[in-house]
C-alpha cells in the first residue's frame, strides 16, 4: 500500500520538475522579451516561481520557517512590480527626440501665451 509520505514525496518531486521547467521558460522570456513590459511581467513570474520553490522545499523538509520567507518574498516581489509599473508609466510621458520633429509646412503653432504669431 502507498503511504501518505510517499505520495507527498512523489508530488513534491513532480512539482519541482514542473517549477524548474517554468523557471527555464521564464528566464528565456526575460532575456528574449521584445518589450520592457514583457520583461517586467517575466520578472514578476520569476518571483512567483521562487515562492513556489520555497513552498515545495518547506513541504519536503518540514521546516515551516520557509513559509515565512516565501511570504516576505511575495511582499517584496509585489512592491518591485509596482515600482516597475510606475517606471514604465513615467517613461511613457517623456517625449523622445525623434517625436520632437519640426512642425510641418502650413501648420500654425501657438506659443505658451496663446497669442498667434
Residue 37 to residue 33: CA distance in whole angstroms: 9
Predicted local confidence at residue 70, as pLDDT: 95
Q: Could you tell me if 43 and 80 are in contact, meaning their C-beta atoms sit under 8 angstroms apart? A: yes
Tens-place pLDDT, residues 64-115: 999 999 999 999 999 999 999 898 888 875 554 555 555 565 656 555 555 5
The answer to whether residues 43 and 84 touch, using CB atoms and an 8 Å cutoff, is yes
Three-class DSSP category at 116: coil
Most confident of 23-27, 31-35, 88-92: 23-27
Cell of 43: 520578472
Arithmetic mean of pLDDT over the chain: 85
Cβ-contact 66, 57 below 8 angstroms? yes
pTM for the full predicted model: 0.73
Amino acid at each position: 500500500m502507498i503511504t501518505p509520505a510517499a505520495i507527498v514525496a512523489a508530488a513534491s518531486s513532480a512539482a519541482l520538475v514542473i517549477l524548474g521547467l517554468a523557471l527555464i521558460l521564464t528566464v528565456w522570456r526575460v532575456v528574449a522579451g521584445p518589450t520592457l513590459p514583457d520583461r517586467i511581467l517575466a520578472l514578476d513570474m520569476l518571483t512567483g516561481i521562487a515562492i513556489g520553490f520555497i513552498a515545495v522545499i518547506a513541504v519536503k523538509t518540514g521546516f515551516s520557517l520557509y513559509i515565512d520567507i516565501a511570504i516576505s518574498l511575495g511582499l517584496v516581489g509585489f512592491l518591485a512590480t509596482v515600482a516597475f509599473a510606475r517606471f514604465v508609466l513615467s517613461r511613457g510621458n517623456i517625449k523622445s527626440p525623434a517625436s520632437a520633429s519640426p512642425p510641418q509646412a502650413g501648420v500654425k503653432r501657438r506659443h505658451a501665451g496663446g497669442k498667434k504669431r
